[in-house]
């Protein structure tokens, strides 16, 4: 699996993944719970600034933003015409002020959180993030669950494609009939059975290599003053967004 944004030379790429996890989570949660438009505009601006500081590749970044906002287009079509104070009329549909406000809030939140996540988390290799979670004393089984989902989800999908290709090669054409439902049931059952067998083989291989229920971290990254300053600045910005939303600033 290719990690597009994990390679780079910005200071965010070199920052400690543990501090980036904490700071990114705080800022993302604040953006998610704040509903004040000025605060959300500032949150989106902060996400843009972080993306620029991280020197994210423009083409993959734009591709992800377009994918997210393409989904939001359908959301606008549904939410914009919800009941409320009339804002405009399009044929027999009436756009409402409340619908426009809600759609704009959701759009700002989604884009801001995506930018923050890409700038702070995607700039570290995924395995470093998992090591960071483990060093932060999160439950070991939970970290391992996330790790194995990330590591083997593509294997699961590849096995699914192979089985579907085998069914198509034998003349299977899906429809709304009993044969289709039975065939899809066999497909799901076979997929789960092969996944269980593969999991047992992987676990046996891990035991043969000395696995004792915990991943060993071979390289421990020291926490630098610059990393603490970065995390402090992001956290302070999140606190300022809360103040703006409450009208304190």
Pick 135 or 249 by higher pLDDT: 135
The pLDDT score that the predictor gives to residue 77 is 83
Mean pLDDT taken over the chain: 86
- The Cα 46–Cα 29 span in angstroms is 14
Question: Does the structure show a pLDDT above 80 at 110?
Answer: yes
Phi and psi angles of residue 138, each rounded to the nearest 5 degrees, phi first: -70, 155
The pLDDT score that the predictor gives to residue 88 is 72
pLDDT tier for residue 248 given thresholds of 50, 70 and 90: low
pTM attached to this predicted model: 0.78
- Mean pLDDT computed over 222-246: 89
Give 42's contacts (C-beta < 8 A, 6+ positions apart).
240, 241, 244
The pLDDT score that the predictor gives to residue 209 is 83
pLDDT tier for residue 217 given thresholds of 50, 70 and 90: low
124-128 contacts, C-beta under 8 A, 24 or more apart: 124/6, 124/13, 124/15, 124/17, 124/20, 125/3, 125/6, 126/3, 126/6, 126/150, 128/17, 128/221
- Mean pLDDT computed over 86-111: 83
Beta strands in the chain (DSSP E): 86-90, 93-96
The pLDDT score that the predictor gives to residue 247 is 75
Strands 86-90 and 93-96: antiparallel
Pick 114 or 5 by higher pLDDT: 114
DSSP tag of 90: E
Question: Tokens at residue 230, please?
Answer: 């970065």
- The Cα 128–Cα 120 span in angstroms is 13
């Amino acid at each position: 699996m290719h990690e597009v944004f994990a390679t780079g030379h910005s200071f965010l790429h070199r920052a400690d993944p543990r501090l980036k996890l904490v700071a990114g989570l705080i800022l993302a949660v604040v953006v998610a719970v704040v509903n004040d438009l000025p605060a959300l505009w500032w949150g989106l601006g902060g996400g843009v600034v972080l993306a620029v500081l991280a020197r994210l590749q423009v083409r993959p970044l734009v591709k992800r933003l377009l994918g997210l906002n393409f989904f939001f287009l359908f959301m606008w079509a549904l939410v914009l015409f919800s009941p409320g104070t009339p804002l405009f009329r399009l044929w027999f549909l009436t756009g409402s002020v409340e619908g426009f406000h809600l759609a704009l809030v959701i759009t700002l939140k989604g884009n801001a959180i995506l930018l923050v996540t890409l700038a702070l988390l995607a700039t570290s290799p995924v395995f470093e993030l998992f090591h960071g979670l483990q060093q932060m004393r999160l439950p070991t089984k939970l970290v391992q669950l996330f790790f194995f989902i990330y590591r083997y989800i593509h294997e699961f999908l590849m096995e699914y494609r192979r089985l579907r290709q085998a069914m198509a090669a034998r003349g299977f054409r899906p429809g709304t009939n009993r044969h289709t439902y039975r065939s899809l049931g066999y497909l799901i059952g076979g997929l789960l059975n092969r996944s269980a067998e593969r999991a047992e083989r992987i676990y046996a291989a891990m035991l043969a290599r000395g696995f004792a229920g915990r991943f060993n971290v071979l390289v421990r990254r020291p926490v630098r003053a610059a990393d603490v300053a970065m995390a402090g600045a992001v956290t302070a910005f999140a606190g300022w967004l809360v103040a703006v939303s409450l009208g304190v600033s």
